[in-house]
Amino acid sequence: ASINCIQGTCVILANSTFLCLCPTGRSGRFCEIVDPCLITPGTIAPCRNGGTCIRLSTTSYLCVCPIGFTGAYCDVANPCSNMPCAPNATCAALINGSAICLCPPGMTGSRCNQTVLSSFCASSPCLNNGTCIGTICLCPINTTGPTCNAIGTSCPTSSRPTLVCLNGGTCIPGYGCFCNVGFTGENCGTPIFNSCTRSTCFNGGTCVQLFNDTLICLCPAGYTGSRCEAYNSLCVPNPCQFNGTCIPSGTTGYICICLPSFTGPQCNLVTNPCLYLP
């Protein structure tokens, strides 16, 4: 019987058996299996530029390309090999042979090496050489505030290394800020408001703020009421003798505040005649 070694050479062995010697690119008992990855005489290797060929079937294969090349046959130079994108960015090869860097959030630029300016930073809000990052201002020494707008004295502590004493506050190393009169707070940034500035005593009355923040109006002679708004003729003329002070009491009375050595409803009594020599 005729033995058909496909494109191979048949060799009769001593025991009446045979062997097909297959050419490059074929295998199997009758050389019937084609390996598309093997180079046959007169053909070109299917995977170019050092690519590795992986046989998928007798007629199909896959080229695994080295760095710098792409395409079905590894015959296309990979543009990403010459496109160094910044860390965390991804290089994408385009169909026209060029490449672009796909940037992560917050980065921009052809290589993704530039920080995206937020709408906050776009208006350059940081004063006194402050640096804008995202939505905050990083302030240089001796400045503080949301936009580095407050200038003071740097006073770093263990709990607040960026502490700045404002409004003329004095830095005490290891302690913090010693504030000027009228200011309080860790950085002397909080004004101490005198409540009397928000309360008006009428008719020349004098506002006095007590320790418990209670306000009273000291009214001049002839006036009474919580804000000296009512006229009281009981103290005009002054009924208190010997320079006593008349203070209206309600709307129908008054009280005399007497000088030392005098007493009585109208300061008309001498407590120690020896101290008063008319």
Domain membership of residue 90 (yes or no) is: yes
The residue out of 96, 115, 134 marking a domain boundary is 115
Residues 185 and 211 occupy one common structural domain: no
Which residue in the block uniquely carries the two structure tokens 């001498």? Answer: 270
pLDDT tens-digit readout, 39-91 = 655 566 688 888 888 888 777 788 898 888 878 888 888 888 777 899 889 98
Q: Which domain holds residue 178?
A: 152-192
Residues 264 and 221 occupy one common structural domain: yes
The residue out of 100, 115, 130 marking a domain boundary is 115
- Whole-number Cα distances in Å, 124 to 86, 130, 138, 145: 26, 9, 12, 15
CATH of the domain at 177: 2.10.25
Domain membership of residue 184 (yes or no) is: yes
Which conformational region is residue 142 in: left (phi greater than 0), alpha (psi within -120 to 50 degrees), or beta?
Answer: left
CA torsion through residues 118, 124, 128, 129, sign = positive
Domain membership of residue 227 (yes or no) is: yes
Residue 112, both tokens? 């993704």
Residues 176 and 225 occupy one common structural domain: no
Residues 103 and 161 occupy one common structural domain: no
CA distance 225 to 183: 32
Phi, psi (rounded to 5 degrees) for 216: -135, 155
CA distance 43 to 113: 46
Domain membership of residue 270 (yes or no) is: yes
pLDDT tens-digit readout, 1-37 = 567 888 888 888 887 788 999 887 778 888 887 777 8
Residues 211 and 271 occupy one common structural domain: yes
Look up the pTM and report it: 0.31
CATH of the domain at 101: 2.10.25.10
Domain membership of residue 217 (yes or no) is: yes
Residues 185 and 214 occupy one common structural domain: no
| CA 213 from centroid of its chain's CA atoms | 38
Domain membership of residue 93 (yes or no) is: yes
If one counts the domains in the chain, the total is: 3
Phi, psi (rounded to 5 degrees) for 81: -70, -20
The residue out of 90, 115, 140 marking a domain boundary is 115
On whether the CB atoms of residues 189 and 196 are closer than 8 A, the answer is no
Query: pLDDT tier at 191 (50, 70, 90 boundaries)?
Result: confident
Domain membership of residue 124 (yes or no) is: no
pLDDT tens-digit readout, 120-157 = 787 888 999 998 887 788 888 888 888 998 888 889 88
